[in-house]
Structure 1
Amino acid sequence: MCHAVLFTAPKGNGRLALAAMLAKTLLCENSVTEPCSICHSCQLFEAETHPDFHVIKPETEGKKISVDAVRTVNKYAWETSHLGGRCIILIQNADSMGEAAANAVLKTLEEPPLNCYFILFTASIDHMLTTVVSRCDKWHLKLPHESVVKCWVESELFESVPLQVIRINRGAPLAAKAFVERGSLALHEELITEFSAYVALKQNLFIVTKKLIKSGSDALQWLSFLLLDVMKLQLGTTEGIVHSDSMILVEQISYSVSFTLVMRQLTALNRLKNDLIKNSGLNHELMLSRWLSDFQ
């Protein structure tokens, strides 16, 4: 196996579980194909106390991986392993490494220590240092067909799930399952129903704003999908529509506002999403209500 593996897969596709299974297998004392789960190394791994398994990830979502964190694990890479076997370094969301952090990793990847393996994963290599990518064995994890994902989620939850749940979560099985489990399905349906009524009737601005805040950070992405669906319908196509189970609402909005207004509001919404992520101190309620009022 190459000393560094880079998984490319969308969030919610099981990439962390796969990376962890690979790490556990490499550390296992009894097997080279799958972890035995009974040796001392496997037991330490399952207890999350393995001294030769090191994880780097952003401190909080949306933040960069610090160069100090990389330098710390680089030191572990050159030390003798505690159990006398391999040392594994897992870098989650590798695209969140800044230039300094990426260069620090690159130095170790260019001259890898004996028995030290790097496992990286990312949703896209577009924002990664090309020299880091070139030093890795690249594994691209494709998403299953949405019908397969839908069947799997339903079998896991023992309930029927709308197809749009799979599409909202970009076809990622674990993300779709978690979406239903945490109650986001009900929140999503409430929000798009209130939003479509607001756009059509220009009433209840305060209620829709509160619904947006209650639904959390994902709500703006839901509305982005919804407005894209409206634009597709206004252009005369239903191909690729996310809200396939809520076409009545998509049609209601498409009849109520012009294509030009929808496109302008979608652009403004995407800008608003970025602003709220970058600046946590902004008044969310005020900015959301301003955006909604532009539909009037």
Structure 2
Amino acid sequence: MLYPWQEGVWQNWQQLLEQGRLHHAILLVAPQGSGRDVLAKQLAQTVLCQNGVTEPCGMCHSCRLFAAGTHPDFHLLAPVQEGKSIGVDAVRQCNRWAVETSQLGAERIILIDQADAMGEAAANALLKTLEEPPSGCQFILLAASLDNLLPTINSRCNKWRLPMPDEASTQKWVEKQLMQSIKRETVRLNGRAPLATLQFIEQGQDIRYGHLLTAFAAFLQPPFIGLYDVAAQCAAEGHQSLKWLSYFMVDCMKVQQGVTQHLIHCESLPLVQQAAATISPMLLISQIKKANALYQQLDQHSGLNTELLMVDWLTGFMVAPTA
């Protein structure tokens, strides 16, 4: 079952399927939490279906195998671990799948999730297969953005962007799923991605983030009490907490410049205004840069003492003069 915001792209793909003009390499650009895998698998099942052309029949042998997750001609390539890259050896296996004979005598599908997580060597290994695609092999690549994909990969694919619903639509959809009201800033914090917003609330992250935000805003007021409490909360959430706090600090900078519209923290404006009145613009810029650098460090290297590094970053608010 597709989500409402996916219908437009799906209808375009159906036209291409009906006309027999579907490109051998589809690149779907959509953020995590958009349900992009659901749309990609709908396309994959349709291509593999023994009866349907623009919709999977759901009843043929191929559809039953697909639903069971055991279809021999459907191959999924993704990072072994979240946040890790797709290695060259995995792509070489992908290339072997591409030239294999279909076990059901029809198409073969290779779905590459998080294709933007391919390293340069892995992307180059895939390039030749995309340039000279084997007959009967359909590639579907999923990426959050084009920034980390080689231009040569981009140029070999037919690119599609999955539009996210506007804030009001996302909020309404999530509220319908949960049967409760939610904050608009929760939608903004998750880039309007409906499933990401839903998961954020279902996992209680909205509550924990609210506690973190309150503690962080209180810490920013001299004499900077609660440093270790904030560091512990950040460490408990992982390096994602740095991205959240960066959004908060950017909102503080906007308020300092007289901007009060389109803030992510629209329902936490008093906390934003309180921090903006205390911390100097230069210090905010410096701490945002350090937070982004620390985020990258923690994202790329596991096993680091997150809480200690958080303490070191938070100390930066105490050593520079405030406004």
**Alignment partner, residue 250 of structure 2:** 228
- SS of 2:134's partner is coil
Question: Which of 117, 130, 135 is the matching residue for 2:138?
Answer: 117
Shift of 1:12: 1.1
Residue identity in the other structure for 1:259: P
Query: Aligned partners of 1:266, 1:129: CA distance in 2, in Å?
Result: 28
**Alignment partner, residue 274 of structure 2:** 252
Shift of 1:263: 1.4
Query: Aligned partners of 2:287, 2:150: CA distance in 1, in Å?
Result: 34
Question: Which of 190, 193, 205 is the matching residue for 1:169?
Answer: 190
Query: Aligned partners of 1:11, 1:42: CA distance in 2, in Å?
Result: 26
Question: Which of 305, 309, 312 is the matching residue for 1:283?
Answer: 305
**Alignment partner, residue 294 of structure 2:** 272
- SS of 1:119's partner is strand
Query: Aligned partners of 1:187, 1:216: CA distance in 2, in Å?
Result: 12
- SS of 1:88's partner is strand
Query: Aligned partners of 2:149, 2:312: CA distance in 1, in Å?
Result: 36
**Alignment partner, residue 42 of structure 2:** 21
**Alignment partner, residue 156 of structure 1:** 177
Instruction: Show structure 1 runs of 4+ deviating over 3 A.
Output: none
Is the counterpart of residue 214 in structure 1 residue 236 in structure 2?
A: yes
Query: Aligned partners of 2:120, 2:215: CA distance in 1, in Å?
Result: 44
Query: Aligned partners of 1:277, 1:6: CA distance in 2, in Å?
Result: 25
Moved more, 79-88 or 68-77: 68-77
Query: Aligned partners of 1:193, 1:239: CA distance in 2, in Å?
Result: 21
Query: Aligned partners of 1:262, 1:160: CA distance in 2, in Å?
Result: 33
- SS of 2:89's partner is helix
Q: Where in structure 2 are the equivalents of 1:40-55 lying within 5 Å? A: 40-55=61-76
Question: Which of 209, 225, 239 is the matching residue for 2:261?
Answer: 239
User: TM-score of the superposition, structure 1-length normalised?
Assistant: 0.97
- List per-residue Cα deviations over 1:231-286 (Å, max 9, x = no partner): 00011102331000101111111122111111111111111111112222322111
User: TM-score of the superposition, structure 2-length normalised?
Assistant: 0.89
**Alignment partner, residue 15 of structure 2:** none
Shift of 1:213: 1.5
Query: Aligned partners of 1:199, 1:100: CA distance in 2, in Å?
Result: 44
Query: Aligned partners of 2:62, 2:95: CA distance in 1, in Å?
Result: 21
Shift of 1:92: 0.9
Query: Aligned partners of 2:127, 2:235: CA distance in 1, in Å?
Result: 41
Residue identity in the other structure for 2:237: S
Kept in 1: contact 2:240–2:295 (CA 8 A): no
**Alignment partner, residue 107 of structure 1:** 128
Query: Aligned partners of 1:256, 1:117: CA distance in 2, in Å?
Result: 56
Identity of aligned residues (%): 48
Q: CA RMSD in A?
A: 1.2
Residue identity in the other structure for 1:150: Q
- List per-residue Cα deviations over 1:183-233 (Å, max 9, x = no partner): 101001000001101111411112111111122332111101000000000
**Alignment partner, residue 61 of structure 1:** 82
